[in-house]
Structure 1
Amino acid sequence: MPFASVNGQQLCFEDTGGDGPVVVFSHGNLMNRQMWVPQVEALRGEFRCVVWDERLHGRTKDDGALYTYWDSADDLLGLLDHLGVERATLVGHSQGGFLSLRAALRAPDRIKALVLIDTAAVAWPQEALTQMSGVSEGFRTGGPDAVAPALLGMLLGEPEIHHDWLRTWHEQPQERLADAVAVLMGVDDISARLGEITQPALIVHGQVDQPVPLPLGQMLRDRLPGASELIVVPGAGHTPSLTHPDQVNGPLSAFLRHSA
């Protein structure tokens, strides 16, 4: 598995290669690059697909310190440098959307377009922070089994894939999982700056997403100048690209062909 030395970290990534437009996929909290398998399989050949593990996730070798999503945005831009890519379309789920929005603010000339899946531009309300604090502490003291029953259903919805992701959590140190959630809690509000992000944007959102409710996706559609469409996936929760790929891949492919 290749690694990119970026900002003092060793970022694990995969690159399908080829001459097609570059699309970089950034995963959600407690996920990893494998969440994008359905999209990469649908798009490879036509597009050069890059997936990567963010700090405190997957196989990336990081310093273990807490970080911000501005740091993650810089990591993504550094990964583009490593790959020799001047401009790319960014597809981000949840925290992957947090960092993608910040990359567009940090280096607008390097971002062709954005696909934002069940993500937001605001900080968390106190109720959510309290819940996340309990999840973080649960990971830290009890490990994945302490939080899995409630968390897997909220994040993934589809019981048949719960086991696969629980296994990936068990492959990670408990402290790393706890710290990943702590980073999530610290996201800052950038909603006042959405008007600065003028690239074409596609917003995709699960109809019954609990962690990031649908009105937050509607906010992105309304405030991003380049947002052309909001795709609401019926019956989907927080991770429709994984649980409802057939309903996501069509609009995603059409948008990329038009904008990337």
Structure 2
Amino acid sequence: MPIVELNRQGLYFEDSGGSGPALLLAHGFLMDGRMFDPQVQALAPEFRVIRWDARGFGRTQWDGKPFTLYDSAADGIALLDHLGIPQAVVGGMSQGGYCALRIALRYPERVRALVLMSTSGIVDAEEVRVGYRQVRDLWGTPGATENIIQNLAGRVLGDSPIHAHWLDRWRQTPKAAFVATINNLVDRDDVLPRLGEIRCPAIVFHGTDDTSIPLSEGERLHKTLPGSTRFVSVPGAAHAANLTHPEVVNPPLLEFLRAST
């Protein structure tokens, strides 16, 4: 099993291999690296696609301690170091996009370009954070957990028929992991004032039917990043547009990668 000890975590990762330019991908909340399967299929072997399961998610052996998005960013860089990759295109979806932005801010010399999916540079409004904390406190409560899962399924995956196996994975999330990972999401800092520091090329994807992060936030991210070259709206897509609508996401992604590497 591809697990490596980095930053005191047993980090699970997958590497498509090859000699092509590297693309490092960070997944969204409650997801894991498998959410990028459609991108690996489309991009490898022309590009070397690397994805990992963040702390508290998927198959990573998390140490059980609280962590921040900057810890997640350090994990991504440590993985690149482990693989001997000095620079990569860095991408992420939602919470993974928050991580990707912080990699670009803290380790700019390591980032060749940015791929941002269904994400934002701002913090959530207080009423949204209150809602997240309520969900956090209810997780593991009989009945409430299933209601949360069904609600999240619609918000993240929309009407996609791929619901079932993702929902089964969500049901297996322990309370401690859910608490730590949602705190990582809710307690993030506001990097909007610093986005002007990110000078590398960027592409921003966003679903038109995203109710978790409004389309307008993706548009604002695109307009604020100095190097952002393209904004791609994904018609009919909810939050996980890259997973549910790869036929719309992959062609402009491939075009961007070829132009940026």
For normalisation by structure 1, the TM-score amounts to 0.97
For residues 150-172 of structure 1, what are the alpha-carbon distances to aligned partners after superposition, in whole Å with 9 as ceiling and x for unaligned? 11101111241211111111233
Q: Distance in 1 between the 2:23 and 2:241 partners? A: 18
Map 1:21-32 to 2 at 5 A. 21-32=21-32
**Which residue matches 1:112?**
112
Percent of aligned positions that are identical: 43
Map 1:156-235 to 2 at 5 A. 156-235=157-236
Gaps of 5+ in 1: none
**Which residue matches 1:58?**
58
For residues 119-147 of structure 1, what are the alpha-carbon distances to aligned partners after superposition, in whole Å with 9 as ceiling and x for unaligned? 01111101211221122122233474241
Residue pair 2:160, 2:244 contacting (<8 A) in 1 also: no
Map 1:35-184 to 2 at 5 A. 35-142=35-142, 144-184=145-185
Residue pair 1:114, 1:200 contacting (<8 A) in 2 also: yes
Q: Secondary structure at the match of 2:67?
A: coil
Q: Distance in 2 between the 1:20 and 1:54 partners? A: 24
Q: Secondary structure at the match of 1:160?
A: coil
Q: Distance in 1 between the 2:159 and 2:33 partners? A: 19
Q: Distance in 2 between the 1:205 and 1:14 partners? A: 25
Q: Distance in 2 between the 1:148 and 1:223 partners? A: 33
Moved more, 15-24 or 146-155: 146-155
For residues 149-194 of structure 1, what are the alpha-carbon distances to aligned partners after superposition, in whole Å with 9 as ceiling and x for unaligned? 2111011112412111111112332331233222211111000000
Q: Distance in 1 between the 2:156 and 2:259 partners? A: 30
Moved over 4 A (4+): none
For residues 33-92 of structure 1, what are the alpha-carbon distances to aligned partners after superposition, in whole Å with 9 as ceiling and x for unaligned? 010000000111101110110011001011111211111111111111111100000120
Q: Distance in 2 between the 1:6 and 1:194 partners? A: 28
RMSD: 1.2
Q: Secondary structure at the match of 1:141?
A: coil
Moved more, 206-215 or 26-35: 206-215
For residues 233-253 of structure 1, what are the alpha-carbon distances to aligned partners after superposition, in whole Å with 9 as ceiling and x for unaligned? 111111100111100001101
Moved more, 45-54 or 155-164: 155-164
Q: Distance in 2 between the 1:174 and 1:12 partners? A: 20
Q: Distance in 1 between the 2:23 and 2:30 partners? A: 21
Aligned partner letter, 1:126:
E
Q: Distance in 2 between the 1:184 and 1:140 partners? A: 19
For normalisation by structure 2, the TM-score amounts to 0.96
Residue pair 2:64, 2:176 contacting (<8 A) in 1 also: no
